[in-house]
Amino acid sequence: MNTTMGLQLLLMAAGAVAVSAVARRKGWPAPLLLVAAGLLVSPLVPGVPLDPDLVLYVFLPPLLYSAALDSSYLRLRDVKRAVGLLSVGLVLFTTAVIGLVVHLLLPELSLAAAFALGAIIAPPDAVAAVAVGRRLGLPRRALTILIGESLFNDATALTLYRVAIGAAVGGTVDLLEGVGEFLYSAVVGVAIGLALAFLFAWVFRHTRDSLVENTLMLLIPFAAYLAAESVHASGVIAVVIVGLYLGNQMHQRGFGTRLVSDAVWRVTDFFLEAIVFALIGLQLVTVIKGIGGYSAWEVALYAGVVFLVTVLARFVWMFPVTYLTSLFRRNEPGPKPSHVVIISWAGMRGVVSLAAAFAIPVDMPNRDILLFLTFTTVIGTLLVQGTTFPMLIRRLRVSSEQERYEDRLAEASAQQAALAAGVEVLDRLVEAEGEPDEIQKQVIDQLKEKSWQRSLTAWERLGGGTAQGGAETPSSLYRRLRREMLQAQRETFVRLRDERRLDDEVLREVMAELDFEEAMLER
C-alpha cells in the first residue's frame, strides 16, 4: 500500500467517524447517514475500492462476534423456530424468487448466475434496523428475531453463493451436491465453533487477567472464522457459536474483564460499522462506470424490479409462514400483525451482499450488471426502508413500554433479594468475628447503607426517577450532589499536579477511582 492510498483510507475512516458522531449527537441512525454521505461524496473523491477479502475476513468476524457476545442465548433459544425460518427458509426462498425473476428479465444471464445474484441479495443486515428499533423501543422479541436472523443468515447465503458461482463458472450444478455442501458447512462450522468455545473458556478459567483475556477476545473471531473457512465450512456459524457461548459465560469472568470488554467492543463496533457503511455509499462511481451495453431506462427498470421483488418476497414469506407455524403452538398466542409487518419491513441489506458481489470472478459473463443490481438493492433497502422504519414503528404504535416496566419491577425485586443475601452474609461474618468495636460498627453500617441505597434506586426507577409531586428522589439528589463533589475533587487533584505537588502517575490512579465511582452513579 503506497502513501497516497494509506492517506485516502485514513481520511475516509476519519470522515466516517465524523459523520457517525454527528448522527449520535442528533439522534439519527448512523448507518443511513453514512450511506447517504458516501453517495454524495463518491463523485467528488478518488474511488475507494471495496476489497471482498477485507470485508469478509477483517470486518465481518469481529462485528458478528460482538453481536453474538451481546445477544442472549436464552432469548435466541426461545425464538429459534422464527430465526431458523428466516435465516435458512427465507434466504432460500428469496434466492429462488430473485433468481427466477432476474433470469426472466435478463435472458442472457444463465440461471446459475441469476441464482448467484439471489444468494448475494438474500441476507439482510439488521444493524440499521436494530439501531432504530432499540432507540424507538421495539419489543424485545422482535429485536431478538432480527438479531438472530442477521447472525445466521450470512452462513446460508454465502454457501448458496459458492454453489451458484461454481455452477455459473463450471456450467453444471448438482442439487444433491449443493445440499451436501450446505450441511457440511453448517455442521462443521458448529463443531469448530463449539471446540474453540470450550478451548477459550478453559483458557479464561486459568488466566484471570483482564488485559490478557480481552486481547484474546479480539483474536477469537478471526481464529474461528479462519479455522472454519480453511476447511470450507461456515466461518460465520463458527464465530457466532463461539460468541454466544462465551457471552453466556461472561459472568464467570472477573469484573475487570467485563468492564474492559464492554468498552473494547463498543469502540470496535462504532469504528467498523462507520467504515463499512461509508464504503457502501462510496462505491457509487465504481459500480456505475462498469455498466455498459444497457440504456439508462433499462438499468433503472431492472434495479426497480429487483428491489421490489426483494422487499415483497420477505412479506410473501413472513405472513403465511408466521401464522402457519403459530397453529402448531397452541399454548402460545400468535404474533401481532403489527410485529410481523415491522420484521417484514426490516430487511435492509448491507456490506456482506456488496462484498459477495465484488468477489464474483472478474471473467464471469455479465458481472457488471450483477454488481450494479446488488448495489442498487443495498442502497434502496437502506435508504427507502431505513428512512421509513422509524415512522412505521410509530404509526403502528409498537412499543416495549410494558416490557421496560416489567424489567424495572424484576430488577427491583432482584435487588431486594440480593440485598437480603448480602446482609445475611455480612451478619454471619460479623457474628463469626466477635463483637465489633466502634469503628468496625461504622464500617458495617456503611456497607448496609450502600446496599439499601442500591435497592432503593431500583424501586425509584419504577416511578421514573421522581418522587411524589414531581420532586427529586433521594437517590437522584445524591447522584447530582455527588457528581459536583467529584468534579471539585478532580479539579483539586489537577491543580496539585500542575503545582508539582502530585505526580502524574498518582493523578491517573486517583482519577481512575473517581471515574469508576461516577460510572456507578451513571448506572
pLDDT at 523 over 70: no
How many residues appear in the chain?
A: 523
Mean pLDDT confidence for 440-466: 68
* pLDDT, mean over the chain: 86
pLDDT tops 60 at residue 470: no
Query: Nearest-CA neighbor of 56 among 353, 456, 453?
Result: 353
Q: Round to whole Å and give the CA distance between 191 and 181.
A: 15
Separation of alpha carbons 60 and 64, rounded Å: 6
Query: What pLDDT score does 403 carry?
Result: 67
Q: Which amino acid is at 264?
A: V
Q: What is the pLDDT of residue 331?
A: 62
The pLDDT value recorded for residue 198 is 96
Q: Could you tell me the three cell numbers for 166?
A: 461454481
What secondary structure letter does DSSP report for 95? H
* pLDDT at 38 (0 to 100): 93
Using alpha carbons, select from 270, 264, 267, 262 the residue that is nearest to residue 34.
Answer: 270
Q: Give the pLDDT mean for 18-30.
A: 90
Q: How many CA atoms lie within 13 A of 105 on its CB side?
A: 24
Is a pLDDT exceeding 60 seen at residue 464? no
- CB distance 481 to 459 below 8 Å: no
Residue 201's SS3 state is: helix
454 pLDDT above the threshold of 70: no
Q: How many CB atoms are closer than 10 A to CB 324?
A: 10
Quote the pLDDT of residue 411. Answer: 67
Q: Phi and psi at residue 472, in whole multiples of 5°?
A: -70, 135
Q: For residue 120, how many other CB atoms are within 10 A of its CB?
A: 32
Residue 141: pLDDT band with limits 50, 70, 90? confident
The pLDDT, as a whole number, for residue 442 is 78
pLDDT at 374: 96
**CB-CB neighbours of 426 under 10 Å:** 14
Helical segments of 209-294, H only: 210-230, 235-248, 255-282, 284-290
Asked whether 378 and 280 are in contact (CB, 8 A), the reply is: yes
Higher-scoring residue by pLDDT: 332, 79: 79
Name the nearest CA neighbour of 344 among 363, 367, 368, 319.
319
d(CA 315, CA 322): 10
Share of the chain above pLDDT 90, in %: 45
Q: Which one, of 357, 353, 341, 339, lies nearest residue 381 by Cα?
A: 353
Could you tell me the pLDDT band of residue 102, with boundaries at 50, 70 and 90? very high
Residue 260 sits at φ, ψ, to 5 deg, of -70, -40
- Domain positions in the chain are 3-399, 404-522
pLDDT tens digits for 319-341? 999 888 776 666 666 678 888 99
pLDDT of residue 460: 63
In this prediction, residue 229 carries a pLDDT of: 95
3-state class (DSSP) for residue 466: strand
- Give the count of beta carbons closer than 10 Å to the beta carbon of residue 368: 18
477/369: higher pLDDT: 369
- Hey, which residues does 466 pair with through a beta bridge? 472
Mean pLDDT of 311-317: 96
Cα dihedral sign for 92, 93, 98, 99?
Answer: positive
Tell me the percentage of the chain whose pLDDT exceeds 70.
90
What's the pLDDT at 299? 92
Contact of 30 with 126, CB cutoff 8 Å: no
Q: What is the mean pLDDT of residues 138-153?
A: 90
Nearest by Cα to 348 from 24, 34, 14, 25 = 34
The CATH architecture that domain 3-399 belongs to is Up-down Bundle (1.20)
Q: What pLDDT, on a 0 to 100 scale, did the predictor assign at position 333?
A: 63
Coil, helix or strand at residue 472:
strand
Alpha helices in 346-437 (DSSP H): 351-358, 367-380, 386-395, 401-433
Per-residue burial over 38-65, b if 16 or more Cβ lie within 10 Å, else e, is bbebbeeeeebebebebbbbebbbbbbb
Sequence-ordered alpha helix ranges (H) in 87-139: 91-105, 111-121, 127-136
Question: Mind listing the pLDDT tens digit for each residue in 379-401?
Answer: 999 999 989 998 998 898 887 66
Specify the DSSP class assigned to residue 471.
Answer: P
pLDDT digits (tens, 9 = 90+) for 108-118: 898 999 999 99
At residue 471, the pLDDT reads 61
**Is 416 in contact with 455 (CB distance < 8 Å)?**
yes
Mean pLDDT, to the nearest integer, of 126-151?
A: 84
Q: Please tell me the distance from the alpha carbon of residue 473 to that of residue 470, in angstroms, as a whole number.
A: 9
- Give the mean pLDDT of 276-290: 89
Mean local confidence (pLDDT), 213-230: 95
E strand or H helix at 8: helix 3-26
In this structure, are residues 242 and 224 in contact, taking their beta carbons and an 8 Å threshold? yes
* Residue 180 pLDDT level (bands cut at 50, 70, 90): confident
At 434, is the pLDDT very low, low, confident or very high (cuts 50, 70, 90)? Answer: confident
Residue 97 cell numbers, joined: 424468487
- pLDDT-derived band at 83 (thresholds 50, 70, 90) equals very high
pLDDT above 80 for 178:
no
> Which of 114-123, 154-163, 329-338, 429-438 has the highest average model confidence (pLDDT)?
114-123
Q: Pick from 13-17, 332-336, 416-420 the range whose average pLDDT is largest.
A: 13-17
Give the pLDDT score at 334: 66
Q: Which residue has the higher pLDDT, 400 or 376?
A: 376
- pLDDT attached to residue 469: 54
Q: Binning pLDDT at 50, 70 and 90, where does residue 70 land?
A: confident
Residue 209 zone, left/alpha/beta (φ > 0; ψ -120 to 50; rest): beta
Tell me which of 156-170, 226-240, 358-372, 507-521 is least confident: 507-521
- For the segment 267-287, the average pLDDT, to the nearest whole number, is 92
